[in-house]
Structure 1
Amino acid sequence: MPKVTLGTTVVHYDRTGEGPALLLLHGTAASREQWGPLTARATAFTVLAPDFPGSGLTTDDGGAITVEALAAQAEAVLDHAGAERAHVVGHSLGAVVAAHLAGTRPERVRTAVLHAAWPATDTRQDAEFRLWLDLLETGSFARLLPLMAFGPRYWDQATTESNEQLVKTLDTVIQPGADRQIETDRTVDLRPVLGKITAPVLVLGSTHDRLITADQQRELVAAIPDARAAEIDAGHGAPAELPDEFARIVLEYVTSGASPRGRGLRDPEPPKEFVSAAS
């Protein structure tokens, strides 16, 4: 696996395929493995999927993580991979990092898909992030994740037994640096950089997102000069809840820049593999 050193951080990343660079940035408590379903479908791209500090194989000094530092690490991956520009896709915290990269280094970003990003952490979100930290300390964070991350399509098909099994699975994939990444979530403020984004951007929201509000999504669209909005009928954790539909929307956009088709889904299969999709 390739790796690049930036300061005290050694960033490990997956590199697969050949074609235009597609940089994938994961969410809080997850790792690059979150992107397995999308990577499998992105056969026309060189996919670059790093681990943030505290996740996967990436190592650092164990200190506080900033959005600025994560964006610098993402750019270092592009440099190491020899990619002058990339399509950038992020989920939640990863989408925040993608937006920061696009606003501060616009020449590096061809297009961006921001799923479940938010412009600035407000008091309500900070209260939720504080709850996440408390639940991590008690070992109960995994029990919150299906409630927070998945929408009615999951719950309509779930049973008590299947959900309990999912909680056990999620408990094994929550990354060791989840607490540090949650602290990063608490500090988010993209407002100074959003107007500097020059790339075409898809602000992708989830219909049943409990963490990110529709007003926050509208604020992103209004602040980014070349932004359009789309919605997927899922919860906050759409990449895990509806991986096929999520991949279709993303790949349509980065391939053509056209508006993705529709928002309706029919009879999705119950997810069989989940990666922590907290933020």
Structure 2
Amino acid sequence: MPSTTLRISGGTATVEYDITGTGPGLVLVHGTAATREQWGPLTEAVAGRFTVVAPDLSGSGGTTDHGGPVTLADLADEVLAAADHAGLDSFHLAGHSLGAAVATHIAGTRPERVRSLALHAGWVRTDTRMAAEFRYWLELLRVDAAYGTALFARAVPLMAFGPRYWEGVDAPAHEELVRALAGAIHGEGAARQTETDLAVDLRPLLGRIAAPTLVLASAHDRLIGAEQQQALRAGIAGARYAEIDAGHGAPGEDPAGFAAKLAAYLDERLTADREPTSAA
């Protein structure tokens, strides 16, 4: 896999990323405790029309760094470094959860780079209730690290999935999912990313975002409240709003439906880019 090294606060990071397809650039940013593999269904859906770049953030997958705290700005720099290394001067940009916060940061600090923006399960500022949840995650991860338990993996579906998952799964299938999550989640990296979640405050940047934006909410998101989605919509000029019938973890709960929602928006932006500008 390609990789690129950059300086972030606290040291250096070597960012590993996937590059797939051909066409205008599309950069995808994963959520807390996930990896670039989260974007497989969407990449498959659009790789015939976009050059898709999907990096691992610090704490995930093949990306390595100094092992200390990372800021939202650090993660944004990692994403931009991957885009630069892949030869993308400007690009469409989509993010999920923490990835949506990173994408919002990029669109607000480097608006000339972003051709369109899609934010799923993003938020403006970590409020008291969200902070309490993130601190609970950190406690679970500490216990898992100390005792070899899988409490965080067991909590993820409770936090992330909506009614449709619970109505369609039986106990053995659910336990299989928990085992898979426990094997996939890197506890130390998840904790570092959760610390970054705690510090999110994007209020100063929303008014600087110039790209056409889709705010995509999950109808059954128990982590990111509806008021956060509406604050994103209100704070970003011209932002559109849509919902998916899933919980916070829509990329895992309904991979095909999630990919279809974003692919439709991206194809619309691709068509808009190709339309000739009318003469003044």
Whether TM-score is above 0.5 comes out as yes
When Rg is computed on C-alpha atoms for both structures, the one with the higher figure is 2
Which stretches in structure 2 are left out of the alignment for 5+ residues?
145-150, 271-280
Task: Find the aligned partners of 2:102 and 2:256 in 1 and give their Cα distance.
Answer: 24
Q: Which contiguous aligned blocks of 4+ residues in structure 1 show a shift greater than 4 angstroms? A: none
Equivalent position to 1:186, from 198, 201, 204: 198
Deviation digits for residues 121-173 of structure 1, max 9, x if unmatched? Answer: 01100100000011112221000011111101100011111111111111011
Task: Find the aligned partners of 1:226 and 1:6 in 2 and give their Cα distance.
Answer: 34
Q: Secondary structure at the match of 1:192?
A: coil
Task: Find the aligned partners of 1:257 and 1:229 in 2 and give their Cα distance.
Answer: 15
Task: Find the aligned partners of 1:54 and 1:67 in 2 and give their Cα distance.
Answer: 13
**Structure 1 counterpart of 2:240, one-letter code:** R
Q: Secondary structure at the match of 2:201?
A: coil
Task: Find the aligned partners of 1:151 and 1:169 in 2 and give their Cα distance.
Answer: 19
Deviation digits for residues 10-45 of structure 1, max 9, x if unmatched? Answer: 001001111111101000011111111111111211
- 1:71 and 2:76 are equivalent in the alignment: yes
User: 1:80: Cα distance to partner?
Assistant: 0.8
Partner of 2:4: 4
Q: Secondary structure at the match of 2:64?
A: coil
Task: Find the aligned partners of 2:157 and 2:68 in 1 and give their Cα distance.
Answer: 29
Q: Bigger CA drift: 94-103 or 32-41?
A: 32-41
Deviation digits for residues 195-236 of structure 1, max 9, x if unmatched? Answer: 100000100000000001111110100000120100000000
Q: Bigger CA drift: 88-97 or 175-184?
A: 175-184
Task: Find the aligned partners of 2:18 and 2:214 in 1 and give their Cα distance.
Answer: 24
Equivalent position to 2:39, from 35, 50, 58: 35
Instruction: Indicate the structure with greater helix content.
Output: 2
- 1:122 and 2:133 are equivalent in the alignment: no
Per the normalisation by structure 1, the TM-score is 0.91
Equivalent position to 2:216, from 193, 204, 211: 204
- 1:172 and 2:183 are equivalent in the alignment: yes
Deviation digits for residues 90-148 of structure 1, max 9, x if unmatched? Answer: 00000000000000000110111100000000110010000001111222100001111
Equivalent position to 1:224, from 236, 244, 252: 236
Task: Find the aligned partners of 1:241 and 1:33 in 2 and give their Cα distance.
Answer: 14
- 1:16 and 2:20 are equivalent in the alignment: yes
Which stretches in structure 1 are left out of the alignment for 5+ residues?
259-279
Task: Find the aligned partners of 1:172 and 1:166 in 2 and give their Cα distance.
Answer: 10
**Structure 2 counterpart of 1:216, one-letter code:** Q
Q: Which has the higher contact order (CA 8 A, sep 6+)?
A: 1
User: 1:248: Cα distance to partner?
Assistant: 1.1
Partner of 2:253: 241
User: 1:257: Cα distance to partner?
Assistant: 3.5
Task: Find the aligned partners of 1:99 and 1:226 in 2 and give their Cα distance.
Answer: 15
Partner of 1:113: 118
Equivalent position to 2:63, from 58, 67, 77: 58
**Structure 1 counterpart of 2:182, one-letter code:** D
**Structure 1 counterpart of 2:161, one-letter code:** F
Per the normalisation by structure 2, the TM-score is 0.90
Tell me the matched-pair count: 258
CA RMSD of aligned residues (A): 1.0
Task: Find the aligned partners of 2:158 and 2:24 in 1 and give their Cα distance.
Answer: 36
Task: Find the aligned partners of 1:184 and 1:161 in 2 and give their Cα distance.
Answer: 34
Q: Secondary structure at the match of 1:73?
A: helix
Identity among equivalent positions (%) equals 59
Q: Secondary structure at the match of 1:30?
A: coil
